[in-house]
């Protein structure tokens, strides 16, 4: 098996978790600031309603109440002309880990506001694993990092809603 990172192996063979109109990558305002600082531009996100209705049918009330705007749209990474995340190449993501959207860093962990599940998303391709390698090992994700990213994600989701409410009250 190739020594390339599993995400690069997947991106070279596709399809990936980063492509298709039903694969929206939600980004927080914190994600926007990190990516904007890295890229020196802001033309990488838009507000869009989900194509995949599963995004709206979550059992996570914080996600439902804080991520979606009244019209059910939310801030997501723009897709390129091929319907892939604009940061995806055949060699993987062009963004360094510390800049990537928090939900990308957390993938394939399943999570909600309560925490991270021990169960991983089934769609991450295990066929690209080396013999005896676990998915978490291949991805190089430390559980402590994932827990920190999870905490940051939900802090940023809550802060954003609070900031929007303060801005709304000051403009009345």
**Domain span including residue 102:** 6-167
Q: Is residue 118 part of a domain?
A: yes
d(CA 25, CA 105): 11
Q: Are 22 and 52 in contact (CB under 8 A)?
A: yes
Q: Is residue 1 part of a domain?
A: no
- Residues of the chain with pLDDT below 70 are 1-3, 21, 161-172
d(CA 34, CA 32): 6
Q: Is residue 104 part of a domain?
A: yes
Whole-number pLDDT of residue 56? 76
The number of domains in the chain is 1
Q: Is residue 172 part of a domain?
A: no
Q: Are 31 and 152 in contact (CB under 8 A)?
A: no
Q: Tokens 């929007």: give the residue.
A: 164
Q: How far is CA 32 from CA 25, 27, 56, 151, 158, in A?
A: 12, 7, 22, 17, 15
Structure token digits, residue 156: 């940023």
Q: Is residue 133 part of a domain?
A: yes
Burial 105-116 (b: 16+ CB within 10 A, else e): bbbbbebeeeeb
């Amino acid at each position: 098996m190739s020594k390339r990172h599993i995400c690069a192996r997947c991106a070279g063979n596709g399809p990936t978790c980063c492509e298709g109109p039903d694969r929206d990558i939600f980004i927080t305002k914190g994600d926007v600031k990190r990516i904007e600082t890295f890229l020196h531009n802001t033309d990488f996100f838009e507000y869009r309603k989900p194509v995949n209705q599963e995004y709206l049918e979550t059992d996570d009330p914080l996600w439902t109440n804080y991520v979606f705007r009244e019209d059910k749209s939310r801030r997501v990474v723009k897709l390129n002309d091929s319907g892939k995340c604009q940061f995806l190449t055949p060699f993987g993501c062009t963004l360094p880990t510390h800049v990537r959207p928090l939900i990308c860093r957390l993938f394939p962990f399943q999570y909600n506001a309560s925490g991270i599940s021990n169960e991983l998303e089934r769609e991450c391709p295990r066929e690209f694993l080396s013999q005896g390698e676990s998915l978490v090992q291949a991805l190089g994700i430390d559980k402590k990092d994932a827990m920190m990213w999870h905490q940051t994600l939900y802090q940023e989701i809550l802060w954003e809603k609070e900031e929007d409410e303060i801005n709304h009250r000051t403009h009345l």
